[in-house]
């Protein structure tokens, strides 16, 4: 499997990051602490995608945002900057460590009244949540993406967006990858399903590791 750096020229990535508005100090601090404290720090969305998510929330004038996959809180904190008046974010996280870490990052930034982190299996929690949501960000267990998609689509606001991360899987979704791993196989199937789903309109962007935007058709 080719490395992500080979999908997009590293110099282009650096140029794009340099020409993206820098994150505020509280997000820089989360970035540093995540890189230092988590071996899997690459799960964090980072500067460019964080600003992209903020822009999507802002453009959608979203006031109800749902996130599946909290990690250390960077993405939810980034999205909070784009919320409309009275807006809030519900973030779902399975790993018992992350729902402790994320609030520890969210509170010092003064965002605890905007972001709620719920621990537990996302599909079980989703059964209890009432829509509609203006924006849903999916960035969790890749094998479960299809199940998450089906669970949130009925809860999407008429003009809402579903935003799905890692839909390129470091190039593992490409046909030339003869033996894709399980997440890549799952995302191949997911990407094929969404582009052929008459219920929605989608675009798979090449931002970072692939970010797919989905809206209702019609």
Dist CA 173 CA 19 (whole Å): 29
| Size of the chain in residues | 218
At 32, list the tokens: 């540093």
What percent of the chain has pLDDT above 90?
79
Q: What is the predicted pLDDT for the residue at 42?
A: 82
86-108 residue pLDDT tens:
999 999 999 888 878 999 999 99
Report helix, strand or coil for 66.
Answer: strand
Q: What is the predicted pLDDT for the residue at 179?
A: 78
Q: What is the predicted pLDDT for the residue at 96?
A: 82
- Antiparallel, parallel or unpaired: β 200-205 and 156-165: unpaired
Q: What is the predicted pLDDT for the residue at 6?
A: 60
At 41, the pLDDT band (50, 70, 90 cuts) reads confident
Sorted by where each starts, the structural domains of the chain and their CATH numbers stand as 4-216 (3.40.50.150)
157-209 residue pLDDT tens:
999 999 999 999 989 999 887 778 999 999 999 999 999 999 999 999 999 89
Dist CA 62 CA 134 (whole Å): 5
Report whether 206 contacts 8 (CB < 8 A). yes
pTM: predicted TM-score of the whole model, two decimal places: 0.93
Average pLDDT over residues 128-153: 97
Kind and range of the H or E element at 89? Answer: strand 88-93
Q: What is the predicted pLDDT for the residue at 4?
A: 42
Dist CA 25 CA 12 (whole Å): 25
Query: Would you say residue 5 has pLDDT above 60?
Result: no
């Amino acid at each position: 499997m080719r490395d992500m750096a080979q999908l997009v020229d590293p110099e282009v990535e650096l140029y794009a990051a340099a020409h993206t508005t820098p994150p505020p100090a509280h997000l820089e601090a989360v970035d540093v602490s995540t890189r230092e404290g988590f071996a899997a720090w690459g799960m964090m969305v980072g500067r460019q995608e964080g600003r992209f998510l903020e822009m999507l929330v802002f453009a959608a004038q979203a006031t109800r945002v749902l996130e599946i996959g909290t990690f250390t809180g960077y993405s939810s904190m980034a999205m909070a900057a784009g919320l409309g008046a009275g807006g809030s974010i519900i973030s779902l996280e399975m790993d018992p460590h992350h729902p402790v870490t994320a609030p520890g990052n969210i509170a010092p930034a003064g965002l605890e009244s905007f972001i709620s982190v719920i621990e537990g299996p996302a599909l079980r929690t989703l059964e209890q949540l009432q829509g509609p949501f203006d924006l849903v960000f999916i960035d969790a267990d890749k094998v479960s993406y299809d199940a998450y998609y089906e669970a949130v689509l009925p809860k999407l606001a008429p003009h809402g967006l579903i935003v799905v991360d890692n839909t390129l899987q470091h190039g593992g979704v490409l046909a030339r990858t003869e033996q894709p791993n399980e997440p890549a196989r799952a995302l191949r199937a997911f990407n094929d399903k969404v582009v052929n789903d008459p219920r929605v309109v989608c675009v798979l962007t090449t931002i970072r590791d692939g970010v797919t935007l989905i809206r209702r058709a019609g």
